[in-house]
């Protein structure tokens, strides 16, 4: 995965424009990263820098390239083009050393089904230079996770709590969560993210989170990236993203004041037209009746060309 002169230059630019971090370099830095499976281009020239200590949510529909990007960052596959560094290391060439500083929770449970949580703690501790078994057990006991029950007999929520505890047991500098709450009920999702935020509060740990739970992202993410067709459609602080997207309620014929290129979505109503724009600035416009902020789910739908979800009654 030798860096070409062009990709090395792009990586230098990516690092130069990002905010400073504790170590003076980003926790993750990608420049011009491309991943292919045969002729199919999955990631197309992705540039990305994530500062240390930031919670970064990477969103995308199925097939957008999220899983391929995660696999590449974890050193499970090299990119065909481009360069990347994770905590200052090349994940493909230095994976063993890198994983001493990285925790990972996969989309699907990966623990041996017959092992108990207590056995998993002991086994994982044998593979780590730094390990805190007493803290891990205490964390699981707070969530009433049985330590001596086979992993396969635990509930989905309990399995995720075990995997999160194991991922944090060596105090990693970076935690990668690949859609960790998929299949969990709302209470289990809330408990998972609540434990995550409680554990990482003020620790300076960097978190890369991929998820379909967009409502949870709004409460925890510092920055959001949205992948579409292998490219980053959005990469910016969450608050800035939400500030520039608006649903505009226009008088009949008022869409001409917006212009077709600016409209990400449009819905005609009996009383006028609703349009979604991604470049909103406060100001006056005669055709405008109202400008409404959008949820992250609505922004995601607009960027992917889907109708924005109808608001729930009473929302």
pLDDT at 308: 52
Rounded to 5°, the CA angle 236-50-74 comes to: 130
Nearest Cα to 248, choosing from 217, 226, 218, 269?
A: 269
Residue 311 pLDDT more than 50? no
Query: pLDDT band at 191, cuts 50/70/90?
Result: confident
Section 74-97 average pLDDT: 96
Cα–Cα nearest to 192, from 208, 204, 181, 207: 181
Mean pLDDT of 108-124: 95
Residue 22 pLDDT level (bands cut at 50, 70, 90): very low
Q: What would the mean pLDDT of 7-29 be, rounded to a whole number?
A: 57
Residue 165 confidence (pLDDT):
92
pLDDT, average across residues 185-190: 84
Q: What is the pLDDT of residue 306?
A: 57
Cα angle 139, 197, 111 (rounded to 5 degrees) comes to 50
Which residues, 6+ apart, have CB-to-CB distance to 184 below 8 Å? 156, 157, 160, 192
C-alpha span between 153 and 115 (Å, rounded): 10
157-171, 252-266, 292-306: which has the highest mean pLDDT?
Answer: 157-171
pTM score of the predicted model: 0.84
What is the sign of the dihedral through the CA atoms of 86, 127, 138 and 153?
Answer: positive
Res 175: pLDDT: 95
Query: Between the CA atoms of 136, 141, 144 and 145, what dihedral angle is there, to the nearest 10 degrees?
Result: 40
Mean pLDDT of the chain: 86
Domain boundaries along the sequence of the chain: 52-75+94-238, 246-293
Distance set, CA 111 to CA 142, 162, 195, 311 (Å): 21, 9, 20, 40
Of 78-82, 218-222, 265-269, 287-291, the range with the highest mean pLDDT is 78-82
More confident residue, 155 or 270: 155
Range with the poorest average pLDDT among 16-30, 100-114, 158-172, 181-195: 16-30
Q: Of 312 and 39, which is predicted with more confidence?
A: 39
What's the gap between Cα 74 and its chain centre?
14
Residue 178 clears pLDDT 80, i.e. is over it = yes
Q: Is pLDDT larger for residue 6 or for residue 194?
A: 194
Query: CA 20, CA 258: separation in Å to the nearest integer?
Result: 38
Residue 195 has a pLDDT of 73
Would you place residue 284 in the very low, low, confident or very high pLDDT band (cuts 50, 70, 90)? Answer: low
CA dihedral 42, 65, 16, 92 (to 10 degrees): -80
Decide: helix, strand or coil at residue 119.
helix
What confidence score (pLDDT) does residue 168 get?
92
Q: Is the dihedral of CA 120, 122, 126, 129 positive or negative?
A: positive
Share of the chain above pLDDT 90, in %: 56
**Per-residue confidence band for 42, with pLDDT thresholds at 50, 70 and 90:** very high
Mode of pairing for the β-strands spanning 231-237 and 206-210: unpaired
Q: Which of 58, 55, 280, 2 is nearest to 174 (CA)?
A: 55
pLDDT score of 309 = 52
Instruction: Give the pLDDT of residue 268.
Output: 85
- Dist. CA 276–CA 274, nearest whole Å: 7
Q: How confident is the model at residue 232 (pLDDT cuts 50, 70, 90)?
A: very high
CATH superfamily of 52-75+94-238: P-loop containing nucleotide triphosphate hydrolases (3.40.50.300)
268 close to 275: Cβ distance less than 8 angstroms: no
Separation CA 107–CA 209 (nearest Å)? 11
């Amino acid at each position: 995965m030798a860096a070409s002169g062009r990709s090395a230059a792009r990586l230098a630019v990516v690092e130069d424009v990002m905010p400073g971090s504790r170590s003076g370099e980003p926790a993750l830095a990608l420049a011009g990263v491309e991943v292919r499976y045969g002729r199919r281009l999955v990631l197309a020239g992705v540039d990305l820098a994530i500062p240390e200590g930031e919670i970064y949510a990477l969103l995308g529909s199925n097939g957008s390239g999220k899983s391929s990007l995660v696999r590449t960052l974890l050193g499970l596959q090299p990119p065909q083009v481009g360069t990347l560094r994770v905590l200052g290391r090349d994940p493909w060439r230095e994976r063993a050393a890198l994983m001493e500083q990285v925790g990972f929770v996969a989309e699907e449970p990966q623990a041996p089904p017959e092992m108990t949580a207590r056995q998993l703690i002991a086994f994982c501790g044998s593979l780590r230079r730094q390990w805190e078994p007493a803290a891990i057990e205490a964390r699981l006991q707070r969530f009433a996770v049985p330590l001596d029950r086979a992993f396969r007999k635990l509930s989905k929520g309990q399995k995720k709590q075990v995997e999160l505890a194991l991922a944090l047991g060596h105090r990693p500098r970076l935690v990668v969560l690949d859609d960790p709450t998929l299949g969990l009920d709302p209470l289990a999702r809330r408990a998972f993210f609540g434990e995550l935020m409680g554990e990482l509060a003020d620790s300076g740990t960097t978190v890369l989170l991929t998820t379909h739970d967009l409502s949870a992202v709004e409460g925890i993410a510092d920055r959001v990236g949205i992948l579409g067709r292998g490219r980053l459609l959005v990469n910016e602080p969450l608050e800035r993203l939400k500030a520039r997207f608006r649903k505009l309620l226009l008088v009949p014929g008022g869409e001409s004041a917006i212009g077709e290129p600016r409209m990400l979505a449009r819905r005609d109503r009996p009383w006028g037209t609703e349009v979604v724009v991604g470049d909103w600035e406060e100001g006056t416009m005669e055709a405008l009746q109202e400008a409404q902020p959008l949820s992250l789910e609505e922004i995601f739908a607009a960027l992917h060309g889907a109708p924005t979800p109808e608001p729930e009654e009473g929302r």
